[in-house]
Amino acid sequence: MAAEAVSRRLAEAVRELSGAWYGRHMAAAERAIRTRLPLVDLVVEVRDARAPASSAFQPLHRRTPLEPDGRRVVVLNKADLADPSETELLVVVQRWMAYMKKQRSCPWVAAVNSHNRESIKELLNVVRSRIREIKHGKNDCTGTVLLVGIPNVGKSAIVNAMHQIGRIGAAEKGKLKHAIVSSHPGETRDIIGYKVASHPNIYVLDTPGVLSPRFVNEDSGPRLALIGAIKDSLLEEYDIAQFLLAIVNSREEYRKWENLNQVGDNTSCGNSITSRSHNNKRQYASDHTQDFIVRTVRQMLSETISSFKGDLGEVDEFKRLISYQLVSLQEAFKVSTEPSEDMCKPVAMKLLNLYRTGRLGHYTLEHVPDVRQQVIS
Ligand SMILES: Nc1nc2c(ncn2[C@@H]2O[C@H](COP(=O)(O)OP(=O)(O)OP(=O)(O)O)[C@@H](O)[C@H]2O)c(=O)[nH]1
């Protein structure tokens, strides 16, 4: 309840923006994507594994979808940042639903980490086999794939990885292109094609991120702000950081940070989505415990939650803890500013950066039972 109150405040701030993120450029991109939808063989919809429902690409769902051909693959990217057990469960549930329905209209769902070679290879295999199916097994054909999604979900990172890993000829390797990857949303401005495979030839079109001005769900705004799909500059970073702390304080992850100084961090989750099935050392993500700042921040958060004497079920008490944590974090981050300057902003930005790069643990913001109905239909 108390955490929800913090979330509601951010939801209001997002609502007050009235879709300010949806500018002329995004509207033009949406039109261009719609024009291409009927022309391509396959659509790969990229979502954020931490918010699989809120990060759905609305333009696909508002109009007659691509089904019943089932020419859609849903990629839950940034699986390394989500709670691995929740992502795996969602993928399994979704695949079962597809199997039970025995319809090709259910999209194939894959959890991916675009920084992980094996993960991208698996995705390439799925795309390749889908294209072969659609082209009736012909190897000498050409397939086109439209990669769509909201801003900052990692479309360009995926296309770069597929382009580099895809089995294209040595001569073609010299012509490798690079899509712009950035931690800020809205960097991709044009639709650009990349060859990712031969026999059959497969071209993937990377598209600009499009986030609809209105969300289906009231709770989506804060989640989309936290995962970085909405430009931080449109909101107060401090509000987003408070929402993040509300989540951290409500989950159990901090308990693993209690004894950081004594025995080292035993929170190593690795990248269990992709690492479980492969024995490649490089697939294990760092748990960042060698990073002094990360350790200090985790420890500080753990201590402040454990030692808090107030009632965390009470909204005011819960907010008091968050305010206290944000002040304590100034020291942990070694933020020093002039007395006249606002210390909150740099602290909030640093905290968000830790979360968005997976250094503050693995949090899925939407749980499987809640999203199953709406998530991947
Ligand atoms: N941890 C992690 N970070 C990722 C992953 N994929 C992408 N990123 C990061 O997410 C940020 C956004 O990636 P982009 O590829 O630029 O996202 P995009 O969807 O093309 O963004 P737009 O240009 O806004 O449409 C970058 O900082 C990437 O490094 C992933 O699987 N895991």
Nearest CA-CA partner of 361 in 247, 282, 209, 264: 247
Check if 115 has its Cβ closer than 6 Å to any atom of ligand 1: yes
Distance 113 CA to ligand 1 centre (A): 10
Check if 228 has its Cβ closer than 6 Å to any atom of ligand 1: no
- Residue 148 CB coordination number (10 Å): 27
Structure tokens at 314: 């009470």
Strand order in the sheet with 201-206: 108-111, 72-77, 42-48, 142-149, 201-206, 192-197
Mutate to test the pocket of ligand 1, among 117, 178, 187, 363 (most ligand atoms within 8 A of CB): 187
- pLDDT range class, residue 286, cuts 50, 70, 90: low
- What's the CA gap between 71 and 104, in Å, rounded? 8
Check if 52 has its Cβ closer than 6 Å to any atom of ligand 1: no
* SS3 of residue 216 by DSSP: coil
108 vs 26, higher pLDDT: 26
Please tell me the predicted confidence (pLDDT) of residue 240. 96
Please tell me the predicted confidence (pLDDT) of residue 239. 94
Distance 222 CA to ligand 1 centre (A): 19
What is the per-residue burial (b if ≥16 Cβ within 10 Å, else e) of 336-364? eeeeeeebbbbbbbbbbebbbebbbbbbb
**What is the reported pTM?**
0.87
- pLDDT range class, residue 339, cuts 50, 70, 90: low
- What's the CA gap between 142 and 128, in Å, rounded? 11
Please tell me the predicted confidence (pLDDT) of residue 182. 87
Q: Provide the Cα torsion 109, 112, 117, 122; round to 10°.
A: -10
- pLDDT range class, residue 350, cuts 50, 70, 90: very high
Please tell me the predicted confidence (pLDDT) of residue 275. 39
Q: What is the mean pLDDT of the chain?
A: 83
Q: For atom 14 of ligand 1, which residue has the closest CA?
A: 154
Distance 78 CA to ligand 1 centre (A): 8
Q: For atom 8 of ligand 1, which residue has the closest CA?
A: 154
Nearest CA-CA partner of 363 in 231, 218, 209, 250: 250
Mutate to test the pocket of ligand 1, among 153, 192, 274 (most ligand atoms within 8 A of CB): 153
Q: What mean pLDDT do residues 146-164 have?
A: 96
Look at residue 66 and tell me whether its pLDDT is greater than 70: no
- pLDDT range class, residue 278, cuts 50, 70, 90: very low
- Residue 255 CB coordination number (10 Å): 12
Please tell me the predicted confidence (pLDDT) of residue 257. 85
137 vs 213, higher pLDDT: 213
